[in-house]
Chains A and B, each alone.
Chain A
Amino acid sequence: MQIYLPIADLPVNVFLVLGMGLAVGYISGMFGIGGGFLMTPLLIFIGISPAVAVATVSSHIAASSFTGAISYWRRRALDIALAMMLLSAGIVGSATGVWLFTELRALDQLDLMIGLSYVTLLTVVGGMMIYESVQAILRTRRGMPATLRRPGSHTWFHGLPFKLRFKRSKIYVSAIPVWAIGFVIGFVGAIMGIGGGFLLVPMLIYFLRVPTATVIGTSMVLTLVTMASATVMHAATNHLVDAVLALILMIGGVIGAQFGARMGQKMRGERLRLLLGLLVFAVGCRFAFELVVQPDDFYSLRYVMGG
């Protein structure tokens, strides 16, 4: 069944888009990531212009992260205090990112910057996660405790001042690394046009030692707020949010996210981290492939303006 999208200006198959929403929603619910880094390329692939895709995906992510956040909230697997703390720093980071975005676009090398940052971030983060979770799984096999929460495993930033206690996550850390992470997520998110969940989850796990259980719900709250505000900003400035496309994606997305969240709760922490690591790494390799392999077509078109 074809339906015409009023802002994207082209017809799409409803069931195809619904299916894409479901699949990405499932992954996002399971790992507590927005899934924008998966959905945006998919939409571009079916012919939607990159600008409309990025703007519309933000509203889809808002919907699926909201439903995910609610279900983690019910299971008390969500740390509001930590989320708020990260968010306040994230806003500052986003503003800095938007500024740099504009500067880079003037130099006409934004695509390359985005491509390179995707490759670097995704492969490094993905690789680290795979390595760590495989180690953890092997440890469990040998009958040792899987978690890394040993009293002696503190790193240098645990000695920093302004310590705060986050009860739900059972951590006691300095505000400085929390702020730094929030800032980095906001900054990178603005530059790369993503929610940053796939970066936030490993950062919270490895740097702050937040337990895998609360990390996902917390990351979803952060994603929800950033993506909801991104939707409003995109709609107000670029007029590129396609409400019809968003609606189809959302319906698929929220259903997928519900099942994904359930699956994520059932799975063991280190398995979940391994899967997310593999996913992130695979997407990183795909971007690397695109940069290195000779393209089919050396030329591409970009819309500048009408009239």
Chain B
Amino acid sequence: MRQLTIMLTLVTIACGVGPAPAAERLVVSLSNHRVAVTSNFVGEELVLFGTIEPEPSTSALRPPYDLVVTVTGPRQTLRTRRKQRMLGIWVNVDSREFVRAPSYLAVLSNRPVNTIAGQDTLRRLQIGLDNFLLPQRIGADVADTVRDDPFRRAFVRLETQQGLYRESATAVTFLTPTVFRAAIPMPAAVPTGNYTIDVELFTGGLLVARTNSALEVIKTGFEQYVADAARDYGLVYGMATTAMALIIGWFASIVFARD
């Protein structure tokens, strides 16, 4: 746990490295800060609008710009397991635990992230699925591994298959050289919780401005009620569900009784 804390602190410091003396400022607005999961929720698309404005002190803008939007969902710990053949049957022989990995991760940009800036910059800013820090627990240690580590690759691939991780080089569109829009897809199976949105502006491979926003995905109405009941009053909830089972079973036998 201590290693994790130290590592996260280092990450925070690394992220704190601010952009070069900036001439630009980002102004962004999200179409909706709250995604309500209702009984007919099948996913949603949020839109982030923004403009690039010159700082009042300097007035020169330096197009063309590149923009990367990183949306990160609530953290969770997952285990990636690998099967191997032993004595003719396939068995899980090896596993890695991904500690506090985002349950949702979308990297949206106007062109492929590896053409926007150098590898070092992307790595330092954790931009792109390849560069995002995904700490693994290996024995007693917690550390991020190289990006082509097979467990890491499998983890990202499986999450991408579920639509929870994505990297899109077309999701950000520049309407004018300084006005942009980014489409943030929220799949149906999107986890509930707090999300952060980091917006980073580049020009000529350098980070020139950044800002952030947030959104939350919440259950509402009946869904919220059921989820709360299940969590807070487990025993009563279980007995109520069992009672429901018995009533439905009994009711069906009455409806269908012919003799």
Complexed CA–CA distance, A144 and B37 (Å): 64
Complexed CA–CA distance, A241 and B189 (Å): 18
Complexed CA–CA distance, A10 and B39 (Å): 10
Known contacts A112-B91, A298-B83, A306-B74, A241 near B223 by CB under 8 Å:
no
A-B contact pairs, 16 of them (CB 8 A): A4-B38, A70-B253, A71-B253, A71-B256, A112-B91, A116-B89, A231-B245, A232-B238, A232-B242, A235-B234, A235-B239, A241-B230, A250-B244, A292-B89, A299-B82, A304-B78
Q: Are B40 and A3 in contact (CB under 8 A)?
A: yes
A115 to chain B, nearest CB (A): 8
Q: Are B80 and A228 in contact (CB under 8 A)?
A: no
Complexed CA–CA distance, A56 and B157 (Å): 29
Complexed CA–CA distance, A258 and B253 (Å): 7
B124 to chain A, nearest CB (A): 26
The range of chain B's interface size is 35 or more
Chain A residue at minimum C-beta to C-beta distance from B97:
A304
**Selected contact of A4 from candidates B82, B158, B223, B239, CB within 8 Å:** B223
5 closest residue pairs by CB, A with B: A235-B238, A66-B249, A254-B252, A299-B154, A63-B245
Q: Are A64 and B226 in contact (CB under 8 A)?
A: no
Residues of chain A within 8 A (CB-CB) of B154 are: 297-299
Residues of chain B within 8 A (CB-CB) of A298 are: 82-84, 154
- Is B14 an interface position by the 8 A CB rule? no
Complexed CA–CA distance, A257 and B253 (Å): 10
- Is A236 an interface position by the 8 A CB rule? yes
B179 to chain A, nearest CB (A): 34
Complexed CA–CA distance, A17 and B65 (Å): 49
- Is A273 an interface position by the 8 A CB rule? no
Q: Are A66 and B245 in contact (CB under 8 A)?
A: yes
Known contacts A67-B249, A241-B230, A291-B90, A4 near B241 by CB under 8 Å:
no
Known contacts A3-B39, A241-B230, A246 near B90 by CB under 8 Å:
no
Known contacts A9-B189, A62-B246, A64-B249, A232 near B235 by CB under 8 Å:
yes
Supplied contacts A228-B246, A301-B81, 4 more A-B pairs, CB within 8 Å: A9-B191, A62-B249, A112-B89, A235-B241
- Is A213 an interface position by the 8 A CB rule? no
Chain A residue at minimum C-beta to C-beta distance from B240:
A243
- Is B166 an interface position by the 8 A CB rule? no
- Is A307 an interface position by the 8 A CB rule? yes
Q: Are B223 and A70 in contact (CB under 8 A)?
A: no
Residues of chain B within 8 A (CB-CB) of A239 are: 230-231, 234, 237
B162 to chain A, nearest CB (A): 8
- Is B257 an interface position by the 8 A CB rule? yes
Q: Are B76 and A303 in contact (CB under 8 A)?
A: yes
Q: Are A111 and B92 in contact (CB under 8 A)?
A: yes
Q: Are A257 and B252 in contact (CB under 8 A)?
A: yes
